[in-house]
Structure 1
């Protein structure tokens, strides 16, 4: 963790940005890493006030890939615009169990915004499309990469959570198992243990019961689609938060 924190400080100094939040995403945060899994670090940052007042269009993201580190950062304004669309990767970052950096109070304030802008139907179809993608990738294969199966598991479980629960869904796969049958959860946990000891390249043969559960899950989700809830709160709260945050920084620097 210390190495990642130091790398984030280097990025902040090099790019002249102010770090607000940084966390782990991907398999390490989702609860099913392999021994050779990368560190998928995602961070949020802001610039000085003057940066936002220019008519020129600026790059609003930062990417770094170095050895086992895959780091991506998004500017605060970009994040708020994405939240207006209930962007799933952004929302997930605030559910991560592994936090590398947090500006005091930032996570709590942003989670309040998430609670108001979380749109179950948008999150459902994000995960549903991913589930279809990974199912099409592996369903005809005699064996498959466990990584692909777990991406499919996680999206199916996420969709299942949404048809049972209005709250923001958890990030980790154990939390997402809340509304699935215990025998299914037991099988998933056994595969998690197996995955933790195998490299990313490992391929696993199909289990009939797992395949039947996947097919059944799609049928349940298809029947539930018409009853999904829509949330469209508008931009006012996001705009107010953005102005407060940017100008508070400006006033602090000039006081």
Structure 2
């Protein structure tokens, strides 16, 4: 384990002690998970956590986000499992990305794998398309207008638009790895593919990518995709397939797995798992 990985684990343990929570899952997001970090890229650590059972019984809602001050090296924040499940119900793209990150710092419990297993049922192509399209449009508008542009920002428009194309073609959560998106969706041997590969090679080598003349072949491609998905986004499916009761069971099961068979939560779990019927025992 590297020194930075050890420091990330130390930070996670400190969060557990200070906040009286248990971390269920922790991973890398951002450019390192996407496969195009710069030499000076920080570590974007994201995690899911769960509080003690009595915290969820209080009439006062506990804070559902834990954040730590951003340093030059680390950006660490996480979501309460309850918040995460409500967002999962809406097919939240950032959460789905976290779950499939190839850089995982911790996964002690079964929650993350349970969510991965049911995520195809709850995936909403429309939600994904709109999320990635809006991300791409915002970055394009901010960084890639004019004759000279912030050249490294091409990745932050290319990746979300390729994610849109992946959803359109495969009807599933797009992979995090930028190289997989490029290899699958941009034909090899074309001027576009060559321009993207050259840019990626420069970034991965540690070259400082700042203000340079715009790359016309990439800009034209981005403009075409943005225009296309602006017209077609509303046509994608929006149905959610994971029953609310299943997410309740997952939440109660996580409480039992992490904190033990607390009597109040054991009773609640049994109630959730009981077949539908009259709450007072009638027909």
Q: Give TM-score, length-normalised by structure 2.
A: 0.83
Equivalent in 75, 78, 86 of residue 73 of structure 1: 78
Equivalent in 28, 32, 35 of residue 28 of structure 1: 32
Once the two structures are superposed, residues 160-191 of structure 1 have per-residue CA deviations (whole angstroms, 9 ceiling, x without a partner) of: 11111112211121122212322333322221
Equivalent in 203, 211, 220 of residue 219 of structure 2: 211
Contact 2:33 2:103 in 1 (8 A): yes
Contact 2:125 2:237 in 1 (8 A): yes
Matched residues, number:
254
The aligned counterpart of 1:246 is: 255
* Alignment partner of 1:176 is 2:184: no
The aligned counterpart of 1:221 is: 229
Once the two structures are superposed, residues 8-66 of structure 1 have per-residue CA deviations (whole angstroms, 9 ceiling, x without a partner) of: 11111121111110000011111111111111000111011111111102111111123
Contact 2:26 2:47 in 1 (8 A): yes
SS at match of 1:34: coil
Higher relative contact order (CA 8 A, sep 6+): 1
**Runs of 5+ unmatched residues, structure 1:** none
The aligned counterpart of 1:111 is: 116
Deviates more, 1:15-24 or 1:208-217: 208-217
Contact 1:44 1:74 in 2 (8 A): yes
Contact 2:144 2:154 in 1 (8 A): no
Q: CA deviation at 1:145?
A: 2.2
Deviates more, 1:49-58 or 1:232-241: 232-241
Contact 2:111 2:250 in 1 (8 A): no
Q: 1:189 to 1:95 in 2, by over 3 A?
A: farther
Q: CA deviation at 1:248?
A: 4.2
Q: Give TM-score, length-normalised by structure 1.
A: 0.91
Q: Which runs of 4+ in 1 moved over 4 A?
A: none
1:43-122 equivalences in 2 (<5 Å) = 43-64=47-68, 65-122=70-127
Q: CA deviation at 1:101?
A: 0.5
RMSD between superposed Cα atoms in Å: 2.0
**Runs of 5+ unmatched residues, structure 2:** 267-283
* Alignment partner of 1:127 is 2:132: yes
Q: 1:147 to 1:14 in 2, by over 3 A?
A: farther
Q: CA deviation at 1:81?
A: 0.5
Equivalent in 236, 247, 250 of residue 245 of structure 2: 236
CA distance in 2, matches of 1:143, 1:204: 5
CA distance in 2, matches of 1:223, 1:30: 27
CA distance in 1, matches of 2:172, 2:57: 36
Contact 1:163 1:224 in 2 (8 A): no
